[in-house]
Amino acid sequence: MSPNLFERGIAKAWEYYSKDVGKSLIHWGSVGWVFSSLAQVFAIAINNNIDKKEKKFLIPQELADGAVNVGLYYTITQAIKSLGDSLVDSGSFIKKDTADFLNILKPENTGLKEFIKTNGGVSSIISKIQHEKNFPGADVSQLNRAVSLADRAADSFSHWKNGVGTLFTILASVLACNVITPYCRNRIASTFQHHHIVRTEASKPSGIKPDFALKRPLPSAFNGFRI
């Protein structure tokens, strides 16, 4: 029996997100914000206790809030999480036990960061040892020691990278949702209100125009009067 869509979806969720909690928070956080924003627009529209003038500001504010919220949430959290991931993978922010593991393979006259950079990052080095049981330039004793510690090093690095990614995502989401978005949405929404007020004022009549014609002409004595 061929696997159904639901089972394939569950499998994809494992493959994409089981090792990277931060990625899940970013993607599904963004989807959640879209629906939350639509619901809030609906809340304003059906609330009879908010008068029309205020709704004209609040509805665009909420739509702007939603669009800006989702856009900024995704871009800022993605950017800051990527920064966290690259700090960890480049060896700029790693645990001592990961550094000790990498030092087993590192040539003596090479700096650790240079070694990591030359070999494609910490994840790449650990993965090579774990899966290929081989590393270019390493002698037999270095290789044997590294292979015996590879699984533990991979776990330790994975826990650390996951934790850093999660923390960076949380901090980025607070910055995006609670500082940058309210400022941006207020600027956008107040522009909406200003344009609405200008259009409303422009459409009001400017004084009374005498727009009538006499059905019977006045006697000549009144010809001197002009309205």
Q: Can residue 82 be called a binding residue for another protein (CB under 8 A)? A: no
Smallest gap, in angstroms, from Cβ of residue 214 to another protein? 47
Compute the distance between CA of residue 159 and CA of residue 19 in angstroms, rounded to an integer.
Answer: 9
Q: What is the largest CA-CA distance in the chain?
A: 126
Q: Can residue 104 be called a binding residue for another protein (CB under 8 A)? A: no
Smallest gap, in angstroms, from Cβ of residue 162 to another protein? 4
Q: Can residue 184 be called a binding residue for another protein (CB under 8 A)? A: no
Q: How many residues does the chain have?
A: 227
Smallest gap, in angstroms, from Cβ of residue 208 to another protein? 29
Residue list 40-69, contact with another protein (CB under 8 A): 40, 42-44, 46-47, 49-50, 53-54, 57-58, 61
- Sequence-distant (6+) residues with CB within 8 A of 25 are 77, 166, 169, 170, 173
Compute the distance between CA of residue 117 and CA of residue 94 in angstroms, rounded to an integer.
Answer: 14
Residues 192 and 47 sit within 8 Å (Cβ to Cβ): no
Tokens 């699984």, residue located: 151
Residue list 161-180, contact with another protein (CB under 8 A): 162-167, 169-170, 173-174, 177-179
CA distances to 88, 108, 111 from 85, rounded to whole Å, are 5, 27, 21
Question: How many other CB atoms are found less than 10 A from the CB of residue 56?
Answer: 16
Tokens 């240079």, residue located: 114
- Sequence-distant (6+) residues with CB within 8 A of 59 are 41, 44, 45
Site string for another protein, 140-159 (x = CB under 8 A): -----------x--xx--xx
Site string for another protein, 197-226 (x = CB under 8 A): ------------------------------
CA 79 to the chain's CA centroid: 8
Q: How many residues bind another protein (CB under 8 A)?
A: 71
Smallest gap, in angstroms, from Cβ of residue 220 to another protein? 57
Among 68, 76, 80, 94, contact with another protein (rule: CB under 8 A): 94
Residue 40 vs 119, nearer CB to another protein: 40
Smallest gap, in angstroms, from Cβ of residue 93 to another protein? 5
Q: Can residue 86 be called a binding residue for another protein (CB under 8 A)? A: no
